[in-house]
Protein backbone atom coordinates (compact mmCIF):
# COMPACT_ATOMS: atom_id res chain seq x y z
CA UNK A 1 0.00 0.00 0.00
CA UNK A 2 2.64 2.43 -1.09
CA UNK A 3 0.46 4.64 -3.25
CA UNK A 4 -3.10 5.45 -2.36
CA UNK A 5 -5.64 7.73 -4.03
CA UNK A 6 -8.60 8.82 -1.91
CA UNK A 7 -11.38 10.16 -4.08
CA UNK A 8 -15.10 10.37 -4.65
CA UNK A 9 -17.03 12.61 -7.03
CA UNK A 10 -19.32 13.36 -4.10
CA UNK A 11 -18.30 16.27 -1.88
CA UNK A 12 -17.95 16.13 1.91
CA UNK A 13 -17.55 12.38 2.17
CA UNK A 14 -14.57 12.80 4.50
CA UNK A 15 -11.71 12.33 2.02
CA UNK A 16 -9.46 15.04 3.46
CA UNK A 17 -10.35 14.17 7.05
CA UNK A 18 -9.48 10.52 6.53
CA UNK A 19 -6.37 11.35 4.51
CA UNK A 20 -5.05 13.51 7.31
CA UNK A 21 -5.97 11.56 10.43
CA UNK A 22 -6.29 8.00 9.21
CA UNK A 23 -4.19 7.21 6.14
CA UNK A 24 -1.19 9.54 6.06
CA UNK A 25 0.00 8.79 9.62
CA UNK A 26 -0.23 5.05 8.95
CA UNK A 27 1.37 4.85 5.52
CA UNK A 28 4.85 5.20 6.95
CA UNK A 29 7.38 7.87 7.67
CA UNK A 30 8.09 10.16 4.78
CA UNK A 31 4.75 9.63 3.07
CA UNK A 32 4.26 12.43 0.57
CA UNK A 33 0.74 13.76 0.56
CA UNK A 34 -0.76 15.75 -2.29
CA UNK A 35 -4.14 17.45 -2.07
CA UNK A 36 -5.74 18.42 -5.35
CA UNK A 37 -8.28 21.15 -4.83
CA UNK A 38 -10.31 23.68 -6.77
CA UNK A 39 -8.86 26.98 -7.88
CA UNK A 40 -10.10 29.08 -4.95
CA UNK A 41 -9.44 26.64 -2.17
CA UNK A 42 -7.10 27.32 0.72
CA UNK A 43 -4.13 24.94 0.93
CA UNK A 44 -4.75 21.95 3.14
CA UNK A 45 -2.27 22.19 5.98
CA UNK A 46 -1.70 18.46 6.35
CA UNK A 47 -0.69 18.09 2.72
CA UNK A 48 2.94 18.38 1.64
CA UNK A 49 1.74 19.97 -1.54
CA UNK A 50 -1.64 21.41 -2.53
CA UNK A 51 -2.25 21.56 -6.24
CA UNK A 52 -4.90 24.14 -7.10
CA UNK A 53 -6.22 22.64 -10.22
CA UNK A 54 -7.79 25.17 -12.54
CA UNK A 55 -8.23 23.38 -15.80
CA UNK A 56 -4.60 23.49 -16.85
CA UNK A 57 -2.84 20.27 -17.50
CA UNK A 58 -2.09 18.11 -14.52
CA UNK A 59 0.91 16.86 -16.41
CA UNK A 60 2.89 19.88 -15.25
CA UNK A 61 2.07 19.40 -11.59
CA UNK A 62 1.10 15.88 -10.70
CA UNK A 63 3.19 13.95 -13.16
CA UNK A 64 6.59 15.08 -11.78
CA UNK A 65 5.40 14.09 -8.28
CA UNK A 66 4.39 10.64 -9.47
CA UNK A 67 7.71 10.18 -11.22
CA UNK A 68 9.69 11.42 -8.22
CA UNK A 69 7.85 9.18 -5.76
CA UNK A 70 8.26 6.18 -8.01
CA UNK A 71 11.97 6.80 -8.49
CA UNK A 72 12.60 7.26 -4.76
CA UNK A 73 10.07 4.60 -3.68
CA UNK A 74 8.34 7.15 -1.47
CA UNK A 75 4.83 6.35 -0.19
CA UNK A 76 2.33 8.67 -1.85
CA UNK A 77 -1.18 9.70 -0.82
CA UNK A 78 -3.32 11.73 -3.22
CA UNK A 79 -6.45 13.39 -1.83
CA UNK A 80 -8.66 14.41 -4.72
CA UNK A 81 -11.14 17.17 -3.86
CA UNK A 82 -14.55 16.56 -5.42
CA UNK A 83 -14.50 19.81 -7.40
CA UNK A 84 -11.72 18.52 -9.65
CA UNK A 85 -12.37 14.80 -9.37
CA UNK A 86 -13.40 14.24 -12.99
CA UNK A 87 -10.22 15.71 -14.48
CA UNK A 88 -7.93 14.07 -11.94
CA UNK A 89 -9.53 10.69 -12.41
CA UNK A 90 -9.13 11.04 -16.16
CA UNK A 91 -5.49 11.93 -15.63
CA UNK A 92 -4.84 9.08 -13.22
CA UNK A 93 -6.66 6.30 -14.99
CA UNK A 94 -4.07 5.78 -17.73
CA UNK A 95 -1.46 5.39 -15.00
CA UNK A 96 -3.59 3.37 -12.60
CA UNK A 97 -1.06 0.57 -12.59
CA UNK A 98 1.12 2.95 -10.56
CA UNK A 99 -1.58 3.24 -7.84
CA UNK A 100 -1.97 0.41 -5.32
CA UNK A 101 -5.33 1.36 -3.89
CA UNK A 102 -8.27 3.62 -4.66
CA UNK A 103 -10.01 4.40 -1.36
CA UNK A 104 -13.54 5.75 -1.79
CA UNK A 105 -15.21 6.98 1.41
CA UNK A 106 -18.95 7.50 1.62
CA UNK A 107 -21.31 8.54 4.36
CA UNK A 108 -24.66 6.73 4.66
CA UNK A 109 -26.47 9.48 2.80
CA UNK A 110 -28.61 8.73 -0.25
CA UNK A 111 -26.83 11.17 -2.57
CA UNK A 112 -23.36 10.17 -1.43
CA UNK A 113 -24.17 6.48 -1.86
CA UNK A 114 -25.46 7.15 -5.36
CA UNK A 115 -22.41 9.23 -6.29
CA UNK A 116 -20.12 6.60 -4.81
CA UNK A 117 -21.74 3.96 -6.96
CA UNK A 118 -21.23 6.14 -10.06
CA UNK A 119 -17.63 6.87 -9.03
CA UNK A 120 -16.72 3.23 -8.43
CA UNK A 121 -18.45 2.20 -11.68
CA UNK A 122 -16.41 4.80 -13.53
CA UNK A 123 -13.14 3.51 -12.07
CA UNK A 124 -14.10 -0.04 -13.07
CA UNK A 125 -15.25 1.02 -16.55
CA UNK A 126 -11.91 2.71 -17.10
CA UNK A 127 -10.02 -0.46 -16.31
CA UNK A 128 -9.02 -0.11 -12.65
CA UNK A 129 -8.92 -3.69 -11.32
CA UNK A 130 -11.76 -4.26 -8.83
CA UNK A 131 -9.30 -5.57 -6.25
CA UNK A 132 -7.71 -2.11 -6.05
CA UNK A 133 -10.97 -0.37 -5.09
CA UNK A 134 -12.14 -0.16 -1.47
CA UNK A 135 -15.25 1.68 -0.34
CA UNK A 136 -14.94 2.97 3.22
CA UNK A 137 -18.09 3.56 5.22
CA UNK A 138 -17.55 6.88 6.92
CA UNK A 139 -19.88 8.71 9.28
CA UNK A 140 -21.63 5.55 10.46
CA UNK A 141 -23.64 5.88 13.68
CA UNK A 142 -22.27 4.05 16.74
CA UNK A 143 -25.69 2.46 17.29
CA UNK A 144 -25.64 -0.68 15.11
CA UNK A 145 -29.43 -0.38 14.66
CA UNK A 146 -28.91 2.82 12.66
CA UNK A 147 -27.77 2.92 9.05
CA UNK A 148 -28.80 -0.70 8.52
CA UNK A 149 -29.15 -1.25 4.78
CA UNK A 150 -27.76 2.17 3.87
CA UNK A 151 -24.83 0.65 2.00
CA UNK A 152 -26.80 -2.22 0.50
CA UNK A 153 -26.34 -1.21 -3.12
CA UNK A 154 -22.59 -0.77 -2.65
CA UNK A 155 -22.30 -4.11 -0.85
CA UNK A 156 -24.30 -5.84 -3.57
CA UNK A 157 -22.05 -4.21 -6.18
CA UNK A 158 -19.00 -5.42 -4.27
CA UNK A 159 -20.14 -9.03 -4.31
CA UNK A 160 -21.12 -8.83 -7.99
CA UNK A 161 -18.15 -6.88 -9.29
CA UNK A 162 -15.30 -7.82 -6.95
CA UNK A 163 -14.39 -4.51 -5.36
CA UNK A 164 -14.44 -4.31 -1.55
CA UNK A 165 -16.37 -2.55 1.16
CA UNK A 166 -14.22 -2.23 4.28
CA UNK A 167 -15.91 -4.12 7.09
CA UNK A 168 -14.67 -1.72 9.77
CA UNK A 169 -16.59 1.56 9.62
CA UNK A 170 -15.42 5.01 10.61
CA UNK A 171 -18.08 6.34 12.95
CA UNK A 172 -19.91 9.63 12.83
CA UNK A 173 -18.68 11.79 15.66
CA UNK A 174 -19.05 15.45 16.42
CA UNK A 175 -15.36 15.39 17.38
CA UNK A 176 -14.54 15.39 13.65
CA UNK A 177 -16.17 18.80 13.26
CA UNK A 178 -14.01 20.07 16.08
CA UNK A 179 -10.88 18.51 14.57
CA UNK A 180 -11.58 20.24 11.29
CA UNK A 181 -10.13 23.55 12.42
CA UNK A 182 -7.14 22.10 14.27
CA UNK A 183 -3.67 21.58 12.95
CA UNK A 184 -2.84 18.41 14.92
CA UNK A 185 -3.78 14.95 13.85
CA UNK A 186 -5.64 12.68 16.25
CA UNK A 187 -2.37 10.74 16.59
CA UNK A 188 -0.50 13.85 17.67
CA UNK A 189 -3.25 14.74 20.12
CA UNK A 190 -3.35 11.22 21.51
CA UNK A 191 0.37 11.19 22.18
CA UNK A 192 0.39 14.35 24.30
CA UNK A 193 0.87 13.52 27.98
CA UNK A 194 -2.06 13.76 30.39
CA UNK A 195 0.22 14.34 33.33
CA UNK A 196 3.57 16.10 33.43
CA UNK A 197 4.16 15.79 37.17
CA UNK A 198 2.62 12.69 38.83
CA UNK A 199 -0.79 13.61 40.16
CA UNK A 200 -0.78 17.07 38.59
CA UNK A 201 -2.80 17.39 35.39
CA UNK A 202 -0.81 18.99 32.58
CA UNK A 203 -3.96 19.95 30.75
CA UNK A 204 -7.39 21.40 31.45
CA UNK A 205 -10.43 19.17 31.77
CA UNK A 206 -11.51 20.07 28.23
CA UNK A 207 -8.11 19.21 26.80
CA UNK A 208 -8.07 15.95 28.71
CA UNK A 209 -11.46 15.14 27.18
CA UNK A 210 -10.09 15.89 23.68
CA UNK A 211 -7.11 13.65 24.25
CA UNK A 212 -9.33 10.83 25.45
CA UNK A 213 -11.42 11.21 22.29
CA UNK A 214 -8.25 11.28 20.16
CA UNK A 215 -7.04 8.05 21.78
CA UNK A 216 -10.40 6.39 21.08
CA UNK A 217 -10.22 7.59 17.48
CA UNK A 218 -6.73 6.20 17.10
CA UNK A 219 -8.02 2.78 18.11
CA UNK A 220 -10.82 3.03 15.56
CA UNK A 221 -8.37 4.17 12.86
CA UNK A 222 -5.86 1.42 13.69
CA UNK A 223 -8.56 -1.23 13.35
CA UNK A 224 -9.81 0.21 10.09
CA UNK A 225 -6.26 0.41 8.71
CA UNK A 226 -5.55 -3.18 9.73
CA UNK A 227 -8.76 -4.11 7.89
CA UNK A 228 -7.47 -2.30 4.82
CA UNK A 229 -4.12 -4.13 5.01
CA UNK A 230 -5.88 -7.48 5.39
CA UNK A 231 -8.00 -6.78 2.35
CA UNK A 232 -4.96 -5.92 0.30
CA UNK A 233 -3.18 -9.09 1.48
CA UNK A 234 -6.21 -11.23 0.67
CA UNK A 235 -6.46 -9.72 -2.82
CA UNK A 236 -2.75 -10.15 -3.60
N1 LIG B 1 -16.89 10.52 10.49
C2 LIG B 1 -17.26 11.81 10.52
N3 LIG B 1 -18.11 12.25 11.50
C4 LIG B 1 -18.51 13.55 11.54
N5 LIG B 1 -18.11 14.48 10.67
C6 LIG B 1 -17.26 14.11 9.70
C7 LIG B 1 -16.78 12.77 9.57
N8 LIG B 1 -15.93 12.72 8.51
C9 LIG B 1 -15.86 13.97 8.02
N10 LIG B 1 -16.65 14.80 8.71
C11 LIG B 1 -16.88 16.24 8.51
O12 LIG B 1 -17.43 16.40 7.19
C13 LIG B 1 -16.97 17.62 6.62
C14 LIG B 1 -16.34 17.34 5.26
O15 LIG B 1 -15.17 16.58 5.45
P16 LIG B 1 -13.96 16.64 4.41
O17 LIG B 1 -13.55 18.03 4.14
O18 LIG B 1 -12.94 15.68 4.90
O19 LIG B 1 -14.68 16.07 3.11
P20 LIG B 1 -14.08 15.93 1.64
O21 LIG B 1 -14.62 14.66 1.10
O22 LIG B 1 -12.61 16.09 1.66
O23 LIG B 1 -14.75 17.17 0.88
P24 LIG B 1 -14.36 17.74 -0.56
O25 LIG B 1 -15.01 16.87 -1.57
O26 LIG B 1 -14.95 19.12 -0.56
O27 LIG B 1 -12.86 17.73 -0.68
C28 LIG B 1 -16.00 18.24 7.63
O29 LIG B 1 -16.71 19.17 8.42
C30 LIG B 1 -15.58 17.05 8.51
O31 LIG B 1 -15.25 17.44 9.81
MG1 LIG C 1 -11.34 17.42 0.65
12 CA → ligand 1 middle, Å = 5
With respect to residue 74, please indicate whether it lies within any of the assigned structural domains.
Answer: yes
With respect to residue 202, please indicate whether it lies within any of the assigned structural domains.
Answer: no
Mean pLDDT of 186-208: 74
At residue 52, the pLDDT reads 86
- Give the domain extent around 161: 3-180
| Residue 46 predicted with pLDDT over 70 | yes
**Which residues have a beta carbon within 5 Å of ligand 2, which is an ion?**
15-16, 81
Mean pLDDT of 73-78: 96
With respect to residue 229, please indicate whether it lies within any of the assigned structural domains.
Answer: no
Tell whether ligand 1 has an atom less than 6 A from the beta carbon of residue 41: no
Write the DSSP assignment of 84-99 as a string of letters: GHHHHHHHHGGGGGG-
With respect to residue 185, please indicate whether it lies within any of the assigned structural domains.
Answer: no
Determine the residue of 5, 7, 17 to mutate for testing ligand 1's pocket, defined as the one with the most ligand atoms within 8 A of the Cβ atom: 17
pLDDT tens digits, 96-142: 888 999 999 999 999 999 999 999 999 999 899 999 999 999 999 99
Mean pLDDT of 217-228: 97
Give me the CATH number covering residue 108.
3.40.50.300
With respect to residue 86, please indicate whether it lies within any of the assigned structural domains.
Answer: yes
Average pLDDT, rounded, for the chain? 90
Tell whether ligand 1 has an atom less than 6 A from the beta carbon of residue 176: yes
With respect to residue 117, please indicate whether it lies within any of the assigned structural domains.
Answer: yes
| Residue 13 predicted with pLDDT over 80 | yes
Among 75-84, 104-113, 131-140, 197-206, the range scoring the smallest mean pLDDT is 197-206
Q: In whole angstroms, how far apart are CA 165 and each of 84, 117, 134, 156, 179?
A: 24, 12, 6, 10, 26
With respect to residue 25, please indicate whether it lies within any of the assigned structural domains.
Answer: yes
| Residue 197 predicted with pLDDT over 70 | no
At residue 43, the pLDDT reads 72
With respect to residue 231, please indicate whether it lies within any of the assigned structural domains.
Answer: no
236 CA → ligand 1 middle, Å = 31
Q: Within 13 Å and on the Cβ side, how many CA atoms surround 167?
A: 6
Report how far residue 120's alpha carbon sits from residue 107's, in angstroms, rounded to the nearest whole number: 15
Mean pLDDT of 74-98: 88
Tell whether ligand 1 has an atom less than 6 A from the beta carbon of residue 180: yes
At residue 196, the pLDDT reads 58
Mean pLDDT of 223-229: 97
Domain count for the chain, please give it: 1
Going by pLDDT thresholds of 50, 70 and 90, the confidence category of residue 26 is very high
Amino acid sequence: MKRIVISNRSGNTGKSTLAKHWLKPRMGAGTFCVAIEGRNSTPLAYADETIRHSGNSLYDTLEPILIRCRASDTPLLIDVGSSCEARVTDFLLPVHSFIDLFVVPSMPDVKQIHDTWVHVSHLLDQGVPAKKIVVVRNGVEYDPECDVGAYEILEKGASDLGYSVLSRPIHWDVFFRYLYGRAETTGEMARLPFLTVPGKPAVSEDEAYDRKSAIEFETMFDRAYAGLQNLVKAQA
